[in-house]
Chain A
Amino acid sequence: MLAEIGQFLLGLALLTALCLSIIPLLGYFFKRDDWMLLARPLAYLQFVLVFGAFLTLVWLFVVQDFSVAYVWRNSNSLLPLRYRISAVWGAHEGSMLLWVTIQTVWVALVARFSHSLSHDRIARVLAVLGWVSLGFLAFVVFASNPFERLFPIPAEGVDLNPLLQDIGLIIHPPILYAGYVGLSVPYAIAIAALLGGDLDEKWIRWSRPWTNAAWAFLTMGIVLGSWWAYYELGWGGWWFWDPVENASFMPWLAATALIHVQAVSERRNAFRGWTVLLSILAFSLSVLGTFLVRSGILTSVHAFASDPKRGIFVLALLGFYTGGGLLLYALRAHKIRSEPGFELSSRETLLLANSLIFLVATFTVLLGTLFPLLFDAFGKKISIGPPYFGLMFFLIMVPMVVLLPIGVMMRWHRDSFARVVRQLTPLFLLTTVLTIIVWWFLRPLPLKALAGVYGGIWLLVNTLYALLTEKGRLTRGRLGMHLAHLGVAFFVFGVSMTEHTDFEKDLLMNPGESATFKGYTFAFEGVQRKRVENYIAEEGTFKVFQGDKLVTVLHPQKREYPRQRKPMTEAAIDPGLTRDLYISLGEQLNDQGGWSVRIYIKPFIRWMWGGGLLMMLGGLLAATDRRYKRHAEAEKSHLASQWLEKNSGTPDDKVTEVNA
């Protein structure tokens, strides 16, 4: 019965989305206020219905109703409660429902926090967001229904993929999706402005906090994904340039370009068309990511389930949202007025360079991800490995790191390179001195690591300098920007150290043996068999000493989930500020209890994720800048007085108007 209720709620939500995507727009074109004013209530209603359906699915998992095919496939009676809940988004159908649920949350938030927009504008934005809900709700209802029944009813469920039975997977998808679908807001704003042909700085100012928030969630989602891959896949790696990872990285790159261009577009009335295109691009890449993950068009470590029919459906959605958006752009581009009144040496130029760098990065990743497909289309077969991405990315990030402080320091409109160089010279010398000092402590360092350290310190020194010289101007927006840039500094430093100075060793260890690397002694005490919740674990015990001091005791596991024959490796990690100690178990190699063991020492890997977190905080902080609120208040009172004027006219006034 419950499953049918869920289904029914989804059906109603689909109808609501249909109304939301049509009625306010008709109201806009036929100047009917009452139709336009329906946008908000419809947005709220849609949220309530979809959220209801989502809760229904959660409940079906909690009570383990195996008559529902999706529940049957992704859980069983041994599964602990927390994983029963996260199993809701453990596979395709539920993931898509979560996607739509979060999207309707964004739509409801836009409806709630949009009172500074005139009602014809909010009607357009909500209607476009309604199209997005409509498309993906239709996808859920017609192509990936999580409420489908099974008959006869099985007594026991299959299981949740053991890779996904993990805390990281409870929180990673919701946050990542919040970022993905959050990008539908700047998209909707861009389309709404194109529809009305009234793209002005108000639109862009209003778009900025939403873009920042979506970007922050996306950043957080990617960081969590990387962290999860690091400890759960058991290879010590943190990023694999896998199509699914790239799918989340591409919208992030485009959104990064977008938030920087928005600054120019709002403040300086330049790059308006560019802003629109990037808004469309960022959301399109989100949809493309969904397509790549869900169509099974590329093979991937993360491709848990895929279906070509669904691929066609998502591709059609992509065609509609992106193709429609670009068609509209083609028709309306002549109405976008930009006055690019700036000189070569100005912040505008540097921000343009920024967006170009990020765009090149986006297309590099896109090309690498789709390369096999591209060649397939021409009848050739080819495959490219991580070396391509590693090299390309290094080349692209070098100018980014070098130019970042210059862009921050440059003034709007007109500046001189000579001035900036003069100001940067002492900072450059300071960077060099600090790099030499750091090198002295960390030596020996390979050249690439040293380059990364140099870059990281360069960003750190410049960002701190910029922060200290802000004086009275330090708004939340500027503070957020500096925090995010500090994040880049930590990220660059962490990545270069981890990638180029990490240590890994495979060895055979018998119980009682120990091995010493880089000052750490790993003493292996043996492996014990354990029964835990819904799996059986072979758990190793390692004591780690530094000299005579016990640093930590690590328990890596090899797990066997009875319902699935796939063995899982659960690495044991001792995290630290300057290094992670990472042990994973291979296989038992002899009868004396000897195991193959892999030991990693990963220097500064936490700095990388720490950098990501700083970027996220920066984004959120910038989204809450007071300026937006101040403008919103002013706009609201302006709208109110307009409304009063329009509605308080007496018959006499009208007569005079006519006479005049």
Chain B
Amino acid sequence: MKRSRSVFIKAVLPLVVFVAFVLLLMSGIGKNPRLIPSPLIGKPAPEFALPSLHQPDRVIRKGDLLGQYYLLNVWGSWCPSCRVEHPMVTEVARSGIIPVYGLNWKDEPENAKAWLQRFGDPYRDVLVDYEGRTAIDFGVYGAPESFVIDQKGIIRHKVVGEITPQVVQNELLPLIRKMEAGQ
């Protein structure tokens, strides 16, 4: 009796594990990271108070950035896709269409600085989220991600993954025009 039960468990166990696995994958589909907009869109950005990468004693708060719209770009030196998007982020920052702030996520500040030295530093300022708490508040799924935050501190848009010319053309520019018009 006992033996046959163990045989049964051995036979059925792989199936049970697999079913659990498929359920997990299905839960992921509903939350497709590229297509489902963040629930935070249209809501005030979470409060944050983070040290600046280049002057660690200076703390930057959400309140300090109010009154202007800006792009908050989440990146890390460990993230390959961030390198891919970096030239485009740089172009956006240089063109002056929108100020770009960096949120350095779960990164060693030394590595982050070396990375910026290497690939160029387009950011007006870089906020250090060493523990990753602020990123959790923002609902960051993975790097890179970028948020557009308006004059009143409301999250207007979220880009998951790389910023591409298409994203700039089709998503950022129209939104910037709207925000300029004060909408």
Asked if A376 and B135 sit within 8 Å, CB to CB, the answer is: no
C-alpha gap A306/B117 in the complex (Å): 33
List residues of A (369-392) whose CB comes within 8 Å of B's CBs.
Answer: 370, 372-374, 376-377, 380-381, 383, 385-387
Complex interface: chain A residues within 8 A of B15 (CB): 323, 326-327, 329-330
One digit per residue, 1 when the CB lies within 8 angstroms of any chain B CB and 0 when it does not, for chain A 444-456 equals 0000000000000
List residues of B (86-136) whose CB comes within 8 Å of A's CBs.
Answer: 87-88, 105-106, 117-120, 135-136
Asked if B18 and A297 sit within 8 Å, CB to CB, the answer is: no
List residues of B (38-86) whose CB comes within 8 Å of A's CBs.
Answer: 76, 78-81, 83-84
List residues of B (1-55) whose CB comes within 8 Å of A's CBs.
Answer: 7, 10-12, 14-15, 18-19, 22, 24-29, 31-35
Asked if A565 and B165 sit within 8 Å, CB to CB, the answer is: yes
- How many interface contacts (CB-CB < 8 Å) are there between A and B? 118
Task: From known contacts A370-B24, A385-B79, infer whether A330 and B29 are also in contact, taking CB-CB under 8 Å.
Answer: no
Asked if A291 and B25 sit within 8 Å, CB to CB, the answer is: yes
List residues of B (135-165) whose CB comes within 8 Å of A's CBs.
Answer: 135-136, 139-143, 160-161, 164-165
A234 to chain B, nearest CB (A): 9
Asked if B33 and A566 sit within 8 Å, CB to CB, the answer is: no
Complex interface: chain B residues within 8 A of A301 (CB): 80-81, 84
Complex interface: chain A residues within 8 A of B10 (CB): 273, 333
C-alpha gap A608/B27 in the complex (Å): 38
A298 to chain B, nearest CB (A): 7
A61 to chain B, nearest CB (A): 23
Task: From known contacts A308-B32, A376-B31, A381-B135, infer whether A297 and B141 are also in contact, taking CB-CB under 8 Å.
Answer: no
Asked if A381 and B12 sit within 8 Å, CB to CB, the answer is: no
C-alpha gap A322/B16 in the complex (Å): 11
Task: From known contacts A383-B142, A385-B76, A385-B78, infer whether A296 and B34 are also in contact, taking CB-CB under 8 Å.
Answer: yes
Complex interface: chain B residues within 8 A of A587 (CB): 120
Q: Kindly report which residue of chain B lies nearest to residue A297, judged by CB atoms.
A: B28
Q: Quick one: which of B18, B83, B84 has the most chain A CB within 10 A? A: B18
Complex interface: chain B residues within 8 A of A380 (CB): 136
Complex interface: chain B residues within 8 A of A333 (CB): 7, 10-11
Q: Kindly report which residue of chain B lies nearest to residue A326, judged by CB atoms.
A: B15
Complex interface: chain A residues within 8 A of B76 (CB): 385
Is A289 an interface residue when CB atoms closer than 8 A count as contact?
A: no
Asked if A299 and B87 sit within 8 Å, CB to CB, the answer is: no
Contact of B25 among A273, A334, A373, A385 (CB under 8 A): A373
The 9 residue pairs across chains A and B that have the minimum distance between CB atoms: A333-B11, A385-B78, A326-B15, A373-B28, A565-B165, A330-B11, A377-B27, A383-B142, A308-B32
Beyond known contacts A370-B28, A381-B140: 6 more, CB 8 A cutoff: A235-B80, A277-B14, A298-B33, A315-B22, A376-B27, A380-B136
Interface on A for B, CB 8 Å cutoff? 233, 235, 237, 240, 242, 273, 277, 280, 284, 291, 295-301, 303, 306, 308, 311-312, 315, 318-319, 322-323, 326-327, 329-331, 333-334, 370, 372-374, 376-377, 380-381, 383, 385-387, 506, 564-567, 586-587, 598
- Can you offer 11 A-B residue contacts whose CB atoms are under 8 A? A297-B28, A299-B34, A299-B81, A303-B161, A311-B29, A323-B19, A333-B11, A334-B7, A381-B139, A385-B76, A566-B164
